Amino acid sequence: ATVDQFVALGLCPEYITIDIAHGHADSVKNMIECLKAKLPAAFVIAGNVGTPEAVIDLENWGADATKVGIGPGKVCITKLKTGFGTGGWQLSALKWCARVATKPIIADGGIREHGDIAKSIRFGATMVMIGSMLAGHEESPGQTVEVDGRLFKEYYGSASDFNKGEYKHVEGKRILEPIKGRLSETLTEMEQDIQSSISYAGG
């Protein structure tokens, strides 16, 4: 459905996410302004960015939350292919961006272990986005593949040729994640680890 169709039907999504690799762009500014004009009640999340200047601009343009992280994900190869990205210094990007933010910051990418969630929150993230750490579970999408008697699930980036269907502007890859069982078990362990992180920090 288009924005105009939502308006015509009197509908308004609670949340809308504008998700492009380089979120500090005129195209994002124009889209935020369009959404805020036509669907003012919607909570608009915009990104992705990696600099304080970008956060300031996105907030001034009308974004209600900003996603920080360019290419730190496990299946993202943007930094290798283009030389740009926050892979390797994602926490620093979070810290710099959070210092100027007046609205929520979402850490997107680079979460490999449960402790990375705690560190992201400590450095200013309001919440985190997780991909590879949740891949491989019974409930996760992706084809199940058997290799040498072991079961894996496919996991790939949205900018991979596997997802695009063609080798053009490829900035993602496909990997196999070992089957990890049920998601509920991982989420319980994740919650317990974050609780421990808070206790170590004196909370």
Which residue range(s) make up the domain with 57?
Answer: 3-200
Which among 12, 34, 76, 97 is annotated as catalytic? 76
The number of domains in the chain is: 1
* Residue 77 banded pLDDT, cuts 50, 70, 90: confident
What CATH number is associated with residue 61?
Answer: 3.20.20.70
Residue 189: half-sphere exposure toward Cβ, Cα within 13 Å: 12
* 163 against 176, higher pLDDT: 176
In angstroms, rounded to a whole number, what is the distance separating the alpha carbons of residues 171 and 76? 6
**Entry pTM:** 0.89
Q: Note if 97 is an active site residue.
A: no
164 pLDDT band, cuts 50/70/90, is low
Predicted pLDDT of residue 160: 67
Short-list 73, 74, 72, 29, CA closest to 47: 29
What would the pLDDT profile of 21-76 be if each residue is shown by its tens digit?
Answer: 899 999 999 999 999 999 999 999 999 999 999 999 999 999 999 999 998 888 88
